[in-house]
Structure 1
Amino acid sequence: MSLEKEQKINHLLNSQPPGVVYLSSWLTKNGFSTQLLNRYKKSSWIYSIGPGAWMRMGDKPNYQGALYALQEQANLSVHPGGKTALSLLGKTHYLELSTKQVTLFGGSEEKLPAWFSKYSWEVKINYFSSSFLPPNIGLQTLEQGAFSLLVSNSARALMECLYLSPKKQELVECYEIMEGLNNLRPKQVQGLLEACTSVKVKRLFLYMAEKVGHDWFKYMSLENIYLGKGKRSLLKDGVYISKYQITVPKALENYE
């Protein structure tokens, strides 16, 4: 291999943190042809983990390094959300990561690349694509070793849990999470609720916040949050909450 090509690959490998996946689309934009990448592969500089994805030789792929590539190289809004985000933030004792489950959210038009979906990660990936919340609010930067990821903040993460309820997420568990969120910022929560397009999520969030009695709830401007019209029944046998026009499980309404 020529000195020029060796210097180029060294520059490439040093341009991203250790453990990060290199996307072919990003590499092409940065002047690395498929032919050149195959040469680097033969020279054992890099190896493929699937069509369109490469790793630095010696690095072991994990879902965090793959997510970093999707966020930073592909400019996707895919991020850890729901209970996974809460676990990463240390906000809940429901450590979903310890059960080998990871919840990711992305926009309604965003799909996980085939290499990501087909790769055998050490955790099970549960991916949900939805635009019930805009992709540019309610996220925060979290350090993950040598690099940082955008993850849902506490308020957005709970809303994502509520979005999955009641079929994929128990409402009583959501309420227990809400109990621990006593230091949310009202302005931040207000912005998320005003931007949220899911009537179910908004009604449940406000119902739970009021039921818990957090101080920040007093500063919410409910008149600015559109809650839709008509009743919403989340299950057949439950308790009807007239203020928010929702039917919730008896175990939730009786929870103390």
Structure 2
Amino acid sequence: MGTEKGSKINQLLQTQPKGVVFLASWLSKNGYSSDLQKRYRKSNWLKSIGTGAMVRTGDVINYEGALFTLQKQASSSIHAGGKTALSLLGKSHYLQFSTKRITLFGGKGESLPVWFQNYDWGVEFNYYQSGFLPKNIGLTQIERKYFTLQISNTARALMECLYLVPKYQDLNECYELVEGLNNLRPKEVQKLLEACASVKVKRLFLFLADKAGHVWLKHIDFDQIDLGKGKRSIIKGGTYIPKYQITVNKELGLNDE
């Protein structure tokens, strides 16, 4: 390989963090042609992990490095959310949580790339596409050894859990989560509740926070939140909560009728 090509690959490897994936499309946009990419693979600088995706040869990667690539190179909104985000933030240590199953959220029509789906990351994924919350709010960053990763913050992660109720998420477990969240920032919660498009999520969030007796709930302006009209039966055969017009698990409805 010539000096020019050698310096070009060196520049790439020195400027990009370790433990991440390189997208062929991103490389092309940044001056690394398809022909040059082929030479890098042939020279064993890069290794393919699927169509349109490569890693440094010998590099150890996990799903977080792949998520970083989706967010930074593909400008994707796909992120760790729900219980996975709560676990990464250290909020769900008291729950039975398996790090072998990761919850991801993305926008409507935003699919996981084939290379991401087919590669063995050592974990299983539950991926949900939804627009019930805007993609640019309620996110935070966590530091990894070589890069930072964007995930849901505590309030958004909880709302993502509630979005999955009752089909994919147990409401009682959500209440256990809510009980431990006594220091949420009212302004952040208010912003998310006003932007949330799911009446179910908003009513459940407020009901559980109310039931848990959190002080921050007193600072929420209910008048600015669209809670919809009519009753919502979240759990069939459960207990009806008049204040929030929802039917929930019988045990959660105790003392709230």
TM-score, length of structure 1 as denominator length: 0.97
Pair 1:186-2:195 in alignment: no
Pair 1:200-2:200 in alignment: yes
2: CA distance, partners of 1:152 / 1:97? 18
The answer to whether the Cα contact below 8 Å between 2:84 and 2:103 also exists between their aligned partners in 1 is yes
2: CA distance, partners of 1:203 / 1:235? 13
1: CA distance, partners of 2:96 / 2:15? 33
- Other structure's SS at 1:178 match: helix
Higher mean alpha-carbon deviation, 191-200 vs 116-125, is at 116-125
Match of 1:107 in 2: 107
Structure 2 counterparts to residues 33-44 of structure 1, below 5 A: 33-44=33-44
Give the letter for the 2:243 counterpart.
K
The answer to whether the Cα contact below 8 Å between 1:96 and 1:102 also exists between their aligned partners in 2 is no
Give the letter for the 1:247 counterpart.
T
Match of 2:86 in 1: 86
- 1:6-43 superposed Cα distances (whole Å, 9 cap, x missing partner): 00001111121110100111101001111111111111
Match of 1:128 in 2: 128
Structure 2 counterparts to residues 86-235 of structure 1, below 5 A: 86-93=86-93, 94=95, 96-98=97-99, 100-235=100-235
2: CA distance, partners of 1:125 / 1:16? 26
Change beyond 3 A, Cα 1:95–1:42: farther
Aligned length in residues: 255
Match of 1:243 in 2: 243
- 1:48-89 superposed Cα distances (whole Å, 9 cap, x missing partner): 000010000110221000000000111111110000000000
The answer to whether the Cα contact below 8 Å between 1:194 and 1:226 also exists between their aligned partners in 2 is yes
Q: Post-superposition shift, 1:241?
A: 0.6
Give the letter for the 2:37 counterpart.
L
- Other structure's SS at 1:140 match: strand
- Other structure's SS at 1:96 match: coil
- 1:173-215 superposed Cα distances (whole Å, 9 cap, x missing partner): 0000000100000010000000000000000000001110101
Give the letter for the 1:125 counterpart.
F
2: CA distance, partners of 1:153 / 1:61? 24
Give the letter for the 1:59 counterpart.
D
Q: Post-superposition shift, 1:96?
A: 3.1
- Other structure's SS at 1:104 match: strand
Give the letter for the 1:57 counterpart.
T
Q: Identity across aligned pairs (percent)?
A: 61
1: CA distance, partners of 2:147 / 2:179? 31
Q: Post-superposition shift, 1:109?
A: 2.3
Structure 1 residues not aligned, in runs of 5+: none
Q: What RMSD in Å do the two structures reach over aligned CA positions?
A: 1.3
The answer to whether the Cα contact below 8 Å between 2:133 and 2:195 also exists between their aligned partners in 1 is yes
Pair 1:74-2:88 in alignment: no
Structure 2 residues not aligned, in runs of 5+: none
Pair 1:49-2:67 in alignment: no
Q: Post-superposition shift, 1:235?
A: 2.3
- Other structure's SS at 2:8 match: helix
The answer to whether the Cα contact below 8 Å between 2:240 and 2:253 also exists between their aligned partners in 1 is no
The answer to whether the Cα contact below 8 Å between 1:87 and 1:97 also exists between their aligned partners in 2 is no
- Other structure's SS at 2:136 match: coil
2: CA distance, partners of 1:97 / 1:26? 33
TM-score, length of structure 2 as denominator length: 0.97
Match of 1:59 in 2: 59
The answer to whether the Cα contact below 8 Å between 1:49 and 1:119 also exists between their aligned partners in 2 is yes
Higher mean alpha-carbon deviation, 156-165 vs 231-240, is at 231-240
1: CA distance, partners of 2:166 / 2:38? 48
Give the letter for the 1:198 counterpart.
S
